[in-house]
Chain A
Amino acid sequence: MTVTAEDRMTTMIDARKGGRLTPGRKSGSARTKARAAGILLAPALIVLFAVTVVPIFYGFYLSLTDYNPVERAAPTFHGLDGYIRVLGMPAFWSSIGITLTYALGTLAIAVPGSLALAMLVNGTFRGVKLFRTLLYLPRVVSLVAVSTIWLWIYSRDGLLNYVLDVIGLAPISFLTDENTALVSLIVMRAWKALGGSMIIFLAGLQAMPRDLYEAASIDGCGRWASFRHITLPLLVPITTYVVTVDLIYLAQSFSEIYVLTSGGPLGSTTVVNMLIYKEAFEYFRLGEASSMAFILFALIFALSLFSTRVLSRRGVHA
């Protein structure tokens, strides 16, 4: 029996309509392929389910309990009590404010800074590749290692205070004064983020259609006007990506703050993740720590959605 193209098409249409496949070699073959695909995908799906989906749901369940990993007693379900307690903690709201300041402050420096650097290294001057590599270098160094280096840079006998001393200025307690600690962290984190975002912006700049600039130039557009009316609008999708991804990452910051200030002085750098760590692993209140984690998740989700919407809209109207 010969299978024609028409037969195959009929079978596909039947299948898409939800109709039963006609028995025979064609339908059996399709079923076998689907099963084979299922079998091949199963290990990956099981792993994904076991290490991602289950922990998320289990974490949510824990947030509704009083789970303490050190206690032998099974966790007691207490509904939303943990959330209510967390939302009533002044320290939690303070940490939310600090987290937002830290994330948005870092973005405010890192996004325009990395765009400026990308434009700088978008040219074809001598040594540009080396320059790009050097600028990208902080991105590939571990955050903990970078933090340790900055701990020395900011310390009382460190590089910055040495420079201040050389030029005759009084030393600054960068990390030990509540007025300067968070700003110092933001500067360090923005420096670390510059290289990665720069590369993404650079890719965007290099994909820009040249003819648009040529047309604008013929129409008498200056460099600033070209940047404002061509470059920026065309970079909106990339900017949206950079802002959203960095925001998600920065709102979960922990290690650099743990190394540099441990949340101090006077709690001025205590971000939400520092509180979560304390609740979970110093007080062993994993239930409440999970509640905090899910509130943080909701906050990050809302912020990401907001940034995506706002930036996309600006792109359309630019």
Chain B
Amino acid sequence: MTKRLAAAGLAVATALTLSACSTPAATSTDQESTHLTVWFPGNLASEIEWVNTTVVPEFEEANEGVTVDVEFVDWGDLSTRLSTAFAGGTAPDVFGHGNAAAAGFADAGRVLNLDDYVATLDPADVDDMVLLDHGKVDGSQYIVPLRGFGQLLAYRTDLLEEAGIDEAPTDWADLQAAADKLTVREGDQITRSGVIITADNPTSMSQAFGSALFQNDGDFLSEDGTEVTWDSPEAIEALDFLVGLYNGDDAVATGLNEPIAGSGAQHPLATGRAAMAFVDDATLKTIYEQAPEIAEKIAVAPPLEEEKQASFGGAGNGLFISADSKAPDAAWEFIEFLTSAEKAKEYVQVVGGIPARASLADDADLAAVPYIKPFADALPYFQGNPNVPAWTQLRDLLSVELEKALHGAVSPEEALTGSAKAGQELLSE
């Protein structure tokens, strides 16, 4: 009797423990209903409200029997949450991520190839979804971009006018000349930078370098993605130009590593600590929201043209369907719904960024938004990161050396050739 009691107690305890450890499957489908789990990256209050109060109710109403559970996951936690969800078999049906993650997830077989679904779309629709090609890996669609992003030169019109500069810079020489005039010094301290790049951290430094690299007709990797080319003469020249902005007697910039992305009223353009700055659309949006009186004095220039007109940008975040989803058709329905012309417009109105549809470029409502229009116009000139599985590690190898070069710790050539060698070894593995 006692043995039986002990065995029963152990069995109950074990069952309770194990049941507490297990989690329900992310998706469940039965004959009557389908439940979708969707993870959106970020924690933007306006986006959360729009998704929960507009997108989900409208989608559920239009798709009887389908219910959607949405969770917003902070960008900083996204990789952690996804990797544990993949390992535990609880990945959401649909999840958002940056476009740069596509190659890695595709390579690991964690996301669905969406070619068959895209083939069901109206060809006119496909043409209109101007960022769709950015979500392809080896010619196959894996992510559907929700919006685009890019970095452009923004400047304070009042400060340029004060310095007698009539037009926005169009190339590096123009930029250097304007920055020289706009820089203010007290002793050996720069109190107002002529121009700054977004250099919060090594990753953003690699994006700023990307802009200069593309403008000088260089690239990170060869076209087939098998060779590192960020140590080319064009690349060294591009980095040399950026390093010159921050170093030497003629430096025109200060504030490397300062967190300025998305800093709104605290952005150096808003506080007057910089006269010109390379900014992304989201950061400019925060300046408009938090310092509207200063934002009126900010204008955005088209991408600079050195060897060619270009800037870093392209597809921003988009949506994947998990390869383990038990309801891939419903998941695709959700993506299709969210990328419809109507929702694509609402999305950028709420979140900012470049609309994912060409037909929205001339939309009257969007054209009136000063932090959307210049970026939408520049879309053809934006170039992004290479879509190769090892990109995150390659970018980090490069970024560490870029940071050293920008701080003047190593020469541009040393930084690029050293990291290219290590990058090539990694790429060849």
A156 at the interface (CB under 8 A from B): yes
Q: Decide if A170 touches B273 in the complex (CB within 8 Å).
A: no
Question: Smallest CB–CB gap between A297 and chain B, Å?
Answer: 20
Given contacts A70-B104, A71-B108, A170-B189, contact A157 B271 (CB under 8 A): yes
* Cβ contact within 8 Å between B393 and A281: no
Complex interface residues of chain A between 68 and 127 (CB less than 8 A to chain B): 68-72
Helix, strand, loop or mixed for chain A's interface?
A: loop
Q: Do most interface residues of chain B lie in helix, strand or loop, or is the interface mixed?
A: helix
Residues of chain A within 8 A (CB-CB) of B9 are: 39, 42
Determine if B409 is an interface residue (Cβ-Cβ < 8 Å): yes
CB distance A38 to B6 under 8 Å?
Answer: yes
Write the nearest CB–CB distance from A59 to chain B, whole angstroms: 13
Query: Could you tell me the distance in whole angstroms from the C-beta of A158 to the nearest C-beta in chain B?
Result: 9
| Contact indicator A69/B202 (Cβ below 8 Å) | no
A315 within 8 A of B: no
Q: How far is the CB of A39 from chain B (nearest CB, A)?
A: 4
CB contact list, B204-263 vs A, under 8 A: 255-259
- A271–B105 Cα distance when bound, in Å, is 28
Smallest Cβ distance from A190 to chain B, in angstroms? 23
Write the A37-70 contact mask toward B (1 if CB under 8 angstroms, else 0): 0110011001100100000000000000000111
From residue 17 to 41 of chain A, which have CB atoms closer than 8 A to chain B?
A: 31-32, 35, 38-39
Known: A70-B105, A266-B404, A282-B392. Is A176-B87 also a contact (CB below 8 A)?
A: no
Q: Mark B396-412, 1 if CB is under 8 A from A, else 0.
A: 10001001100101000
Q: Which residues of B contact A178 (CB under 8 A)?
A: 407
Q: Which of A131-178 contact B (CB under 8 A)?
A: 151, 155-157, 170, 173, 175-176, 178
* Shortest Cβ gap from B136 to chain A (Å): 20
A227 at interface by CB-CB < 8 Å: no
Residues from chain B with a CB closer than 8 A to the CB of A151 are: 259
B86 within 8 A of A: yes
B369 close to A (CB within 8 Å): no
Residue of A38, A43, A265 touching B257 (CB-CB under 8 A): A265
Asked whether B79 is an interface residue with its Cβ less than 8 Å from the other chain, the reply is yes
Report the contact-size class of chain B (Cβ under 8 Å from the partner): 35 or more
**Nearest CB on B from A30, distance (A):** 12
Q: Is A284 an interface residue (CB 8 A)?
A: yes
Choose among B84, B109, B273, B396 the residue that contacts A72 (Cβ–Cβ < 8 A): B109
Which single residue of chain B is at the shortest CB-CB distance from A267?
B400
A264 proximal to B (CB < 8 A): yes
Q: Please name all residues of chain A whose beta carbon is closer than 8 Å to the beta carbon of B79 when the two chains form the complex.
A: 281-282, 284
A283 within 8 A of B: yes
A10–chain B nearest beta-carbon distance, Å: 24
Contact check, B266 vs A157: say whether CB atoms are below 8 A apart: yes
Q: Give complex CA distance A274, B164 in Å.
A: 47
B5 at the binding interface (Cβ < 8 Å): yes
Residues of chain A within 8 A of B109, CB atoms compared: 72
Binding site for B on A (CB under 8 A): 31-32, 35, 38-39, 42-43, 46-47, 50, 68-72, 151, 155-157, 170, 173, 175-176, 178, 258, 262, 264-267, 278, 280-284, 286
Instruction: Give 9 pairs: A residue, B residue, CB < 8 Å, sorted on A.
Output: A35-B2, A39-B9, A42-B9, A69-B87, A70-B105, A72-B110, A262-B201, A265-B407, A280-B80
> Which B residues have a C-beta under 8 Å from some C-beta of A?
2, 5-6, 9-10, 13-14, 16-18, 21, 76, 79-80, 82-84, 86-87, 104-105, 108-110, 189, 201-202, 255-259, 266, 271, 273, 392-393, 396, 400, 403-404, 407, 409
